[in-house]
Amino acid sequence: MSDTEPTAGPEGRTSGKKITEKLSAAALAESTGKDWLGWFAVLDRWGAVGPPQRSHTEIARHLREEHGVNGWHAQSITVGYEQERGMREVGQTCAGTWEAGGSKTIAAGAERITEAFVDESVRRRWLPDADVTIRTHRPGKSLTADWEDGSSRISVYLTVKGPEKTGVSLGHHKLDDADAVAAYKEFWRERLGELKRLLEED
């Protein structure tokens, strides 16, 4: 789960909002029976911080199996707890890596959007000066690619919403730090906007 809406991050850096800012305490309580502070107290009593410190998987499993929390909320509570207790920074995955992302709904067919990523001549029109090496792609469905020198990677998933309407969800993985998360969040917001403009105006 990636949290990449711009706000002030650790040590004044710009990173994403904490999940506790995205999912209100009232909404969480309505869905699970406890608000953020209630679940944090449950996990503290269980010893999630340790020692030894429990893994993300162990915490989420505990919430599901011992407290009957559904999968999505178990993941959300776990991420919120890890961020609150300093076990994970905003934008950081449970594996310790960093990722950013973006999404856009475009009035174009899914296969045409795939082509805009895969066909270099088209890609240069909305994503100039980027070194992209396509790794896998399923036309109209998904693709993965190495970014620049291959130290990071992008993944794209397409959701058909109508005959000429497609949801684009992009993740940029294995980034260096929270600053890179913030920079690429803004970068992909702009580039997906340009992709939308290109395909909708052609």
- Please check whether residues 78 and 155 belong to one and the same domain: no
* Count of domains observed in the chain: 2
31: domain range? 18-84
Whether the predicted model's global pTM rises above the 0.85 cut: no
pLDDT grade, residue 192 (50/70/90)?
very high
Half-sphere exposure of 157 (CA within 13 A, CB side): 6
Indicate whether 167 belongs to any domain: yes
The residue among 189 and 200 whose pLDDT is bigger is 200
Indicate whether 90 belongs to any domain: no
Tokens representing 169? Answer: 């969800």
- Please check whether residues 111 and 57 belong to one and the same domain: no
3-state secondary structure labels for all residues of 108-123: CCHHHHHHHHHCHHHH
The per-residue pLDDT for range 75-102, each reduced to its tens digit, is 789 989 988 998 877 777 776 778 888 8
Q: Determine the average pLDDT of the residues in 136-163.
A: 92
DSSP string for residues in 28-70: HHHHHSS-HHHHHHHHHHHTSS-SSPPPHHHHHHHHHHHH---
Indicate whether 9 belongs to any domain: no
- Please check whether residues 118 and 159 belong to one and the same domain: yes
- Please check whether residues 181 and 127 belong to one and the same domain: yes
Indicate whether 136 belongs to any domain: yes
Tokens representing 38? Answer: 């209630």
The arrangement of strands across the sheet holding 165-175 comes to 98-106, 165-175, 152-162, 142-147, 132-138
Tokens representing 62? Answer: 């505990």
- Please check whether residues 172 and 117 belong to one and the same domain: yes
Q: Determine the average pLDDT of the residues in 120-124.
A: 95
Indicate whether 68 belongs to any domain: yes
- Please check whether residues 31 and 108 belong to one and the same domain: no
Measured distance CA(130)–CA(123) in Å, rounded:
9
